[in-house]
Amino acid sequence: MTHTPTPAVTPAAAPVPGGPVRWAALGWDDPAAAELRALMDAEIKPRYAAFGPRPHLPPPPTADEVAVTWVAFTGSGEPVATASLRALPGDRWEIKRVFVRADHRGRGLAVAALAAVEAAAVERGVAELMSQTGVRQPEAAALYVREGWYRIPPYPPYSRDPYSVCFAKRLPATGGAERGSHA
């Protein structure tokens, strides 16, 4: 399946300090999004090193699976935050790779990224979003809980990972029907 990013709902500019940011709806393979994911990997991977190899983990998303990737840019054009909307088999959807650069945290960018992905999902008629994080990412789990997500058992493709922590959120029943939704 191929998805074309649409500049549907743009998140609100983040509050100062640091000045506002500009959000852009991009593709998964966009260099700015890839740069932020590489920073996320560098930060997160050491947290799980003690667990050793984890061959049961699924491969990363592909560009064809990702409907949209939101990226926040500073006034100088530096990418500082991201989150993506990914289609899973069985007409399920998830948020992937919510990340804010360390030097831009505390500005509400993660909340804005979640809101942008949720709005993109609503436009597609999605009734419920899911998200996977891990036991060594308590700040991510806290973000989801603060934003109205509830804990669920690990779902495929993460159901074989004993370190996965998964969440879901029901979305408002508005938006288009580009792709069906589930209850």
CATH number of the domain that residue 94 is part of: 3.40.630.30
Instruction: Report the percentage of the chain scoring pLDDT > 70.
Output: 85
pLDDT on residue 86: 98
Residue 2 lies in a domain: no
Residue 46 lies in a domain: yes
Residue 110 lies in a domain: yes
Residue 59 lies in a domain: yes
- Which burial class, exposed, middle or buried, applies to 39 when counting CB atoms under 10 A from its CB (0-12, 13-18, 19+)? middle
Mean pLDDT of the region 117-138: 96
Mean pLDDT of the region 109-134: 96
Residue 81 lies in a domain: yes
At 126, give phi and psi (nearest 5°).
Answer: -75, 130
pLDDT on residue 18: 63
Average pLDDT, the chain: 87
Q: How many CB atoms lie within 10 A of CB 9?
A: 17
Contact 160, 71 (CB under 8 A): no
pLDDT on residue 69: 98
Residue 36 lies in a domain: yes
Residue 180 pLDDT greater than 90, yes or no: no
**Six-digit token pair at 164?**
């996965």
- What's the total number of domains in the chain? 1
Residue 172 lies in a domain: no
- pLDDT-based confidence at 43, cuts 50/70/90? very high
At 18, give phi and psi (nearest 5°).
Answer: 95, -10
Give the structural domain span for 99.
Answer: 22-124
Mean pLDDT of the region 69-89: 97
- pLDDT-based confidence at 9, cuts 50/70/90? very low
pLDDT on residue 93: 98
How distant, in Å, are the alpha carbons of 61, 73, 127, 155, 156 from that of 58?
9, 29, 24, 12, 9
**Six-digit token pair at 37?**
């994911």
pLDDT on residue 134: 95
Residue 176 lies in a domain: no
